[in-house]
Structure 1
Amino acid sequence: MRKIQAQGIHHITLMGADRQTSIDFWEGLLGMPFVFEQPNLDDPAEGHLYFDPGDGRLITIFTNENRSRAHRRTPTDAGCVHHLAINVSLATFRQIEARLGERGIAHSGHKDRGFMDSIYFKDPLGFLIECACYKFEPPNGCTHADVMIEAHKLRVEAGDASIAEIHLADAIELLVKRTQTSLSSDRAPQNPY
């Protein structure tokens, strides 16, 4: 038996309502370029819109001019998607509350998640969107997941309930020591004063 090895998200497809609401939300609010459109190849009565979330991958929306909002909040039963988290820069994150406020969009306000900052709001159809900003940048040659694995190990070892900034900082230091060489024979912390 062998795994089917994943190498990233190819795309995510959501059920939309009318075409213009999808364009206004995904591009007009979230800044995702509208890059492609065709009929839904499994249901020609629907459109299929493609947006670039900023990493060259795709978020796609099935649209139908006869479909409208069905829920105040999309279902969160087992098997349903709870929310979609979108990566934003710190500069953008600090502007989100004001930019949502300009449009009268209700939101959660800033949420400190230890390893990231978040804010939540619903799309026009009741689907929960999170804009998230990591509190760290991984060292060269490492990924956010590499830092998270090491921070998790440090958190568990310390007996802490959740990842905090100290775990992230120590994980980054550990990864740098592990992945980057140095001419120093002693790489331990020093006090030069």
Structure 2
Amino acid sequence: MTGHPVKLGGIHHAAYRCRDAAETVDWYRRVLGMDYTTAFAEDHVPSTGEYDPYMHVFLDAGNGNVIAFFELPNQPEMGRDPNTPAWVQHMAFRVPDLDALLAAKTHIEGEGVDVLGPTHHGIFKSIYFFDPNGHRIELAADIGTDEQYAELKRVAQPMLDEWSQTKKAPRHADWLHAASNE
């Protein structure tokens, strides 16, 4: 939106909780090839001042994208939102193409990780797996055309409007489902 008072420059980092910072860093380096770039450890939370020791680690996911994790040893054991299916909350990372997606699947399975997919989503294909903290990870390779992405942008608002009224899947992009049957 031009003229909007908030000027975003992208995502600085997305942060999640982990059970063990060292194990998490090792896994993301070994399985996904991420660079471990930064760590902060504090006994007091800078924003609130409360005592809650933590280790905050940062990994480079490429192209200026950073994923971060907090290990919180004084907090109750981490869990999941019991009212949200495991497939909903996930981190999705882009890979360059379908060949890279298939090579990643082979490598990740070779690391002993169960991988689901590839799953066809019309304009991209994905694989899914879980990190050692129980976070679902998706790797996605875009396969759509400029025309398909333009059409999805065109129907985005009508789809949202219809969903808001009916809470049923609008059929504005049925062509995506037809493509997945190929």
Provide the TM-score with structure 1 as the length reference. Answer: 0.64
Aligned to 1:9: 11
Aligned to 2:39: 37
Letter in 1 for 2:93: I
Within 5 A, what are the aligned runs for 1:31-180? 31-40=33-42, 42=45, 45-64=53-72, 70-71=78-79, 74-75=80-81, 77=83, 82-90=89-97, 91-136=99-144, 148=149, 150-152=150-152, 153=154, 160-163=173-176
- 1:107–1:119 contact (8 Å) kept in structure 2: yes
Moved more, 35-44 or 10-19: 35-44
Unaligned runs of 5+ in 2: 46-50, 159-170
Taking a change above 3 Å as real, the CA distance of residues 3 and 161 of structure 1, as seen in their structure-2 partners, is farther
- 2:53–2:74 contact (8 Å) kept in structure 1: no
Deviation at 1:4, TM superposition (A): 3.5
Deviation readout 1:98-123 (Å, 9 max, x if unpaired): 11221221121210111101000011
Aligned residues: 153
Q: Distance in 1 between matches of 2:122 and 2:23?
A: 34
Unaligned runs of 5+ in 1: 139-145, 167-193
Q: Distance in 2 between matches of 1:17 and 1:53?
A: 20
Taking a change above 3 Å as real, the CA distance of residues 84 and 76 of structure 1, as seen in their structure-2 partners, is farther
CA RMSD of aligned residues (A): 3.5
- 2:123–2:142 contact (8 Å) kept in structure 1: yes
- 1:89–1:133 contact (8 Å) kept in structure 2: yes
- 1:19–1:65 contact (8 Å) kept in structure 2: no
The structure with the greater share of residues assigned to strand is 2
Q: Percent identity?
A: 22
Q: Max radius of gyration: which structure?
A: 1
Q: Distance in 2 between matches of 1:61 and 1:116?
A: 27
Letter in 2 for 1:75: D
Provide the TM-score with structure 2 as the length reference. Answer: 0.68
Q: Relative contact order: is structure 1 or structure 2 higher (C-alpha 8 Å, sep ≥ 6)?
A: 2
Deviation readout 1:115-145 (Å, 9 max, x if unpaired): 101000011111110001111476xxxxxxx
Q: Distance in 2 between matches of 1:69 and 1:130?
A: 24
SS of 1:23's equivalent in the other structure is helix
